[in-house]
Amino acid sequence: MLYFISIAALIALFAIGTMTPINMGVLAFAAAFVIGGWLAGLSMDEIFGFFPGSIFTIIVGITLLFGIARVNGTVDLLVGGALKLVRGKRWAIVWLMFFLGAGLMTMGSVLAVGMLAPIAMPIAKRYKIDPLLMGMMISHGVLGAAFSPITVYGAFTNGWLQSAGLPTNPLALYAIPLGLSFLLALGLFLVRGRDLLRADDQSIDIDDLTSSDNPTVAGSPAPQPRGGDLVTTGASAGQRATSARHGAGPMVLTTGSPQPAREPDRLTEIESTGFTPLRVLTLLGMVALLIGSAVFQIDVGVCSMVIAAILLVLAPNKHKPAVNNVTWSAVLLVCGMLTYMSVLKANGTLEFLGDAAASLGSPLLTALILCYAVAAVSAVGSSIGTLGIVLPLAAPLLMMGEVGLIGFVAAVSFSAVIVDVSPLSSNGVMVLANAQVPDRDKFQRSLFKYTGYIVLVAPILAWLFVVLPTSM
């Protein structure tokens, strides 16, 4: 009976967190206390001991450091410099957005789509680049790099593997989804972007982009992992923005042709200031984080927190808004889910679920079914919540050794996150909100069609290229 109650609570918190604005992490903590303390007989000290302190430090430290880099203009400086590298090449800027998105997400920025879409979508309109191509290249880059060890998704997945007593490989779990996402982006480019390879007389001029005639869409909320927390999307004049939960996805309803609001041009401001001492120190801090964690094996959370603290002390007033960039809702979501997962492991529910999954028959067929199930559910629900349900199901199946552990986890993780290109997700809605298109409703329908294509193609791609080779 304990197992069924634990499973029912897991399904309930997922459903409530998806269908309401309630953060799933709050529900997960409540379930951990009630089921772990009252039903399983665990002490409160034991349950508090399940709190993933290292994961908490990683998420807060990285997002705070990146918030500082965003507030003092370091991130914008890097983006502006990258744009200059591809002057005159329309095809190159499309791929630049893919790699910029991947790079920003790799460093832990859940704001990547929100930072790039207001820059990229007006460029797409001005230089006649397919807006769907531009928006999805950004999304594929960001979502492909979602399992970097210092992102919310990477921290959750690696934290679950550790709590389940399974071996983990953070580099492979990061590289495999990124490689698969690159394949999807390449396919999209070959279908919708081949005309950009032709020589033409319309090239991108960065000086032109920094003129006052360049409009950007105002209001870019932070795209965060969906889990029931409320998001308000910014909309331009002529639009009616709605508040929506991450689980069901924020929507933008149009009431007429959009009239983009003008903002002070970020690139103009960057060029007028350049490499200030504060920005140089921020860049050095980010490099130190990469070297310290990769070469000297210093804890990522500790290192990022120390660097962020130093930068805050150096310019407390300027960096004060950076604390608001910490994705507290994501912190609550991840820590709550991992705590509840630890309770389920302690009371035997995960072992029970895994035994049930292992009895389904062919391990490879089961893996394919789980990849498709994850993609379909995550397209309208919480990516982390979906992974929190499916990964425990597969634990004993993975322990049997008939399916490659890292390959399967990477494939199912990729299937869960890549569908966030949907306009029902906070990533997809950023593309929709910033799109410079004559018919926004038509563009939204195009996004839905593309999402359907991803749901069909991504799981089988991951299964064929990752699960099968690693299971032989």
Phi (first) and psi of residue 244, to 5 degrees:
-145, 155
Q: What is the DSSP letter of 418?
A: G
Give the type of residue at 290. Answer: L
Residues 6+ apart with CB under 8 A from 378: 386, 415, 416, 417, 419, 420
Contact 150, 108 (CB under 8 A): yes
What six digits make up the tokens of 295? 């070469």
Q: Cβ–Cβ contacts within 10 Å for residue 77, how many?
A: 23
Domain span at residue 358?
2-470
Phi (first) and psi of residue 222, to 5 degrees:
-75, 120
Look at phi and psi of residue 315 and say left if phi exceeds 0, alpha if psi is from -120 to 50, else beta.
beta
Task: Name the β-bridge partners of 243.
Answer: 232
Interval 256-304: pLDDT, tens = 333 334 334 444 444 445 788 899 999 898 888 878 776 777 777 888 8
Three-state helix/strand/coil letters over 255-310: EEEEECCCCCCHHHHHHHHCCCHHHHHHHHHHHHHHHHHHCCCCCHHHHHHHHHHH
Q: What is the pLDDT along the chain (472 residues), one digit of tens a residue?
A: 788 898 888 888 878 876 788 888 899 899 999 999 888 888 999 999 989 888 788 878 887 888 898 888 887 787 777 777 776 678 888 899 999 999 989 887 777 887 788 888 888 888 888 999 999 999 999 999 999 887 888 888 888 888 777 888 889 999 999 999 999 999 999 998 888 877 554 555 555 544 434 433 333 333 344 443 333 333 333 333 333 334 333 333 333 333 334 334 444 444 445 788 899 999 898 888 878 776 777 777 888 899 999 999 999 988 888 887 777 877 887 788 888 888 887 888 777 766 666 666 677 888 888 889 889 888 877 787 788 778 877 777 777 767 888 999 999 999 999 998 888 777 887 888 888 888 888 888 898 899 999 999 999 999 999 998 887 6
Contact 76, 270 (CB under 8 A): yes
Cα-Cα-Cα-Cα torsion 312, 317, 322, 324, nearest 10 degrees, comes to 130
Task: Name the β-bridge partners of 240.
Answer: 253
Number of domains in the chain: 1
**Average confidence score pLDDT of the chain:** 78
Q: What is d(CA 173, CA 460) in angstroms, rounded to the nearest whole number? A: 18
Total residues found in the chain within this entry: 472
Interval 410-456: pLDDT, tens = 999 999 999 988 887 778 878 888 888 888 888 888 988 999 999 99
Q: Where are the alpha helices (DSSP H) in 86-150?
A: 90-106, 112-126, 131-144
